[in-house]
């Protein structure tokens, strides 16, 4: 498996993976709305850093970092991630996040998680993210409203 920077031409493939993940689970850092054109545009942005986990030409996971969004400025990063449902629990998410953090040496990274997404919460904890706050009943999932948890990574 290779972890590498996404190519501009891979936006549609990345969106297809996000759509599969969104259909599989309502507990994602990237939501279903992002699977309809926004990702292709983001890959083109100089303020978006997109890395893929690729095995034999198949995109297995994606991590995207956005600078200059509502929650981040050019010195901070908001991060989203998606791993193929058929390849979960193989360490792909950990490898993507670790590569992302080490590649750029980000000191301030922001991540949102639905409160019952234990695998992602465990992943962020293993990577030394800290819980900043929890917003009660903030996210509407197929299983009803869930708390949104906000984590930060500070180097």
Q: Where are the beta strands (DSSP E) in the chain?
A: 2-5, 48-55, 58-66, 77-83, 109-114, 130-141, 144-153
What is the β-pairing status of strands 109-114 and 77-83?
A: parallel
pLDDT at 69 > cutoff 70: no
| Correct CATH for 2-153 of 2.60.40.10, 3.40.630.30, 3.40.50.720, 1.10.3080.10 | 3.40.630.30
Helix, strand or coil, per DSSP, at residue 6: coil
Q: Calculate the CA 24 to chain-centre distance.
A: 15
Please give the model's pTM, rounded to 2 decimal places. 0.75
Q: What is the C-alpha radius of gyration for the chain, rounded to an integer number of angstroms?
A: 14
Write down the domain spans for the chain: 2-153
The rounded mean pLDDT for the chain is: 78
131 band by pLDDT with thresholds 50, 70 and 90: very high
Q: What is the pLDDT of residue 53?
A: 96
């Amino acid at each position: 498996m290779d972890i590498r920077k996404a190519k501009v031409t891979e936006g549609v493939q990345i969106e297809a993976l996000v759509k599969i993940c969104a259909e599989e689970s309502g507990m994602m850092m990237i939501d279903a709305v992002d699977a309809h054109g926004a990702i292709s545009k983001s890959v083109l942005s100089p303020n978006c850093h997109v890395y893929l986990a690729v095995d034999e030409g198949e995109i297995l996971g994606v991590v995207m970092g956005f600078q200059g969004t509502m929650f981040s400025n050019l010195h901070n990063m908001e991060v989203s991630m998606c791993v193929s449902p058929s390849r979960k629990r193989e360490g792909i998410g950990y490898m993507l996040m670790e590569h992302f953090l080490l590649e750029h040496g980000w000191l301030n990274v922001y991540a949102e998680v639905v409160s019952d997404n234990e695998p992602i919460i465990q992943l962020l904890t293993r990577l030394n993210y800290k819980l900043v706050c929890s917003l009660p009943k903030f996210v509407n999932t197929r299983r009803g409203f869930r708390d949104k948890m906000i984590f930060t990574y500070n180097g």
